[in-house]
Amino acid sequence: MASSTDRWKVSERNSSPDLALPLLVTGIAGVAGFNAFRYFREKFGEQVVGIRQQDNWPLYGPGIVACNAEHPDGLNRLFDQFQFRSVLNCAGNCALKSCELDPALAWRTNVEGVENLLTTLRDSSTRLVHLSIDLVYAGTGSGGHTEEDPVDPVTVYGTTMVEAEERVLEARPDACILRISLPMGVSFNGHAGAIDWIQSRFKKSKPATLYFDEIRTPTYTDCLNRTFHQVLAGDLHGIYHAGGPRRLSLYEIAQVVNRIGGYDPRYLMGCPRIEAGPMPPRAGNVSLVSDKLSLALGLPPFDPWPFHQEHVPTHRDWHRERPPAQPGSPEYLAEVLYRNPGWKER
């Protein structure tokens, strides 16, 4: 079967997606936003601007502007200056515990920020693509959620993301909402992503406890970036799921990081969600089915994470097995988990 690399090459030969510029990427402190900003900045240079929270001073560089979306005046000034014709909205506070402890802060970041953006875009033809999340579902069933499934979040974070979706659908019916799962790529600070957090524990010889029964559909940011590009350049509207084709538990994801990174298997712990305590609440099987997006784009846009079948856990002690032909190391992890090895060097 052809990988998404081969499918994208055929697609790009037939039609090179051309999006309206300048482009604003919000929420670049997160993994999805950070990688999307770098991708579009490399392609379009100064025509791409990314914004981060004003107090996040370690995140800086060409094209990065400090601007809180919750502050409409600053957002308006930015739009007046750059006259953005496209927006990829990746903003949001996804820290589950912080959102539970401070729902007002979660609301300001995840809902009011979107409302301010929509107000700024009012009466404009600016293309808007808004990112949501698989945690709009509780995951009490067998997963495989489609866009027609009713949302039922169990966390404040998920609840605010549902509210943000509703605001976008009401104000901008021409906008596209992409529900992603775990974006797998580098982060700006080495701690923001799933891989980063798990790997940071193992690097420090500290235990990492992950859940057997929280199921996600992780996706390489390499695949997400090109999907964002095509959706921004097109006219898809409404809600689409954008999760990878492989379903993995958080524990299995940690197994992959542990073995591929060559870390001590003793530091990986696992438990069911019910043993983790009530704070923060945990969703179950929130795996996504992205067939609607594949059909709309004319091709399946995502390779499975991890790409290689031999890197997929087969049992709970799989990470303890270290075949000589598969030496693990942080360098190898970076090659095959942070980046999609199915993509060829351009």
> Three-class SS string for the chain?
CCCHHHHHHHHHHHCCCCCCCCEEEECCCCHHHHHHHHHHHHHHHHHEEEEECCCCCCCCCCCEEECCCCCHHHHHHHHHHHCCCEEEECCCCCCHHHHHHCHHHHHHHHHHHHHHHHHHHCCCCCEEEEEEEHHHCCCCCCCCECCCCCCCCCCHHHHHHHHHHHHHHHHCCCCEEEEECCEECCCCCCCCCHHHHHHHHHHCCCCEEEECCCEECCEEHHHHHHHHHHHHHCCCCEEEEECCCCCEEHHHHHHHHHHHCCCCHHHEEEECHHHHCCCCCCCCECCECCHHHHHHHCCCCCCCCCCCHHHCCCCCCHHHCCCCCCCCCHHHHHHHHHCCCCCCCC
Q: How confident is the model at residue 292, as a pLDDT? A: 98
Contact between 129 and 176 (Cβ < 8 Å): yes
Tokens of 118: 């929509």
pLDDT tens profile 202-239: 999 999 999 999 999 999 999 999 999 999 999 999 99
279: left (phi over 0), alpha (psi -120 to 50) or beta: beta
Q: At the topology level of CATH, where does 17-338 sit?
A: Rossmann fold (3.40.50)
Residue-level pLDDT, tens digit, the chain, 346 residues: 455 555 555 444 344 568 999 999 999 999 999 999 999 999 999 999 999 888 877 888 999 999 888 788 999 999 999 999 999 999 988 889 999 999 999 999 999 999 999 999 999 999 999 999 999 999 999 999 999 999 999 999 999 999 999 999 999 999 999 999 999 999 888 777 899 999 999 999 999 999 999 999 999 999 999 999 999 999 999 999 999 999 999 999 999 999 999 999 999 999 999 988 777 899 999 999 999 999 999 999 999 999 999 999 999 999 999 988 878 999 999 999 999 999 753 3
Q: What is the number of alpha carbons within 13 Å of residue 60 lying toward its C-beta?
A: 5
CA nearest 293: which of 215, 339, 226?
226
Average pLDDT over the chain, rounded to an integer: 92
Residue that is written with structure tokens 């994470």 in the block: 305
Q: How confident is the model at residue 105, as a pLDDT? A: 92
Residue that is written with structure tokens 């795996």 in the block: 287
Contact between 340 and 253 (Cβ < 8 Å): no
Q: How confident is the model at residue 13, as a pLDDT? A: 38
Q: How confident is the model at residue 55, as a pLDDT? A: 83
Q: How confident is the model at residue 4, as a pLDDT? A: 57
Q: How confident is the model at residue 164, as a pLDDT? A: 97
